[in-house]
A = this chain, B = another copy of it.
Amino acid sequence: MEQHDHAAHVGYSGDKDQIIKRLKRAEGQVRGLQRMVEDDTYCIDILTQVSAATKALETVALQLLDDHLAHCVTEAAQQGGDVAEQKVREASAAIARLVRS
């Protein structure tokens, strides 16, 4: 209950199922990577799969960011003042971490 109420306040509420589905797929890819290493799979084939897993995580990050801008940042902007500024600063820092990772 508590949680359901809270859910209304995170930007990604509407995309929760899709995000979890994507993360489960990424988890499967990372587990698949372990099997590949254990089976002495050729390095290049493992690298291809690492790129796929990285891309999957990137897609999740971009979806979360889009939801965050569309909800949390937008609402803060409507309130204005310090909260709005802080949300933008926070979002920019998260974008910088993503771009540099």
Q: Residues on A close to B: CB < 8 A?
A: 3, 6-7, 9-13, 16, 19-20, 23-24, 26-27, 30-31, 33-34, 37-44, 46-48, 50-51, 53-55, 57-58, 60-62, 64-70, 72-75, 77-78, 80, 84-85, 88-92, 94-101
How many copies altogether? 4
Residues of B within 8 A of A101 (CB): 51, 54-55, 58, 100
A39 to B14 alpha-carbon distance, docked (Å): 14
CB–CB A61/B99 < 8 A: yes
Picked from B26, B44, B58, the residue with its CB within 8 Å of the CB of A91 is: B44
CB–CB A66/B88 < 8 A: yes
CB–CB B23/A43 < 8 A: no
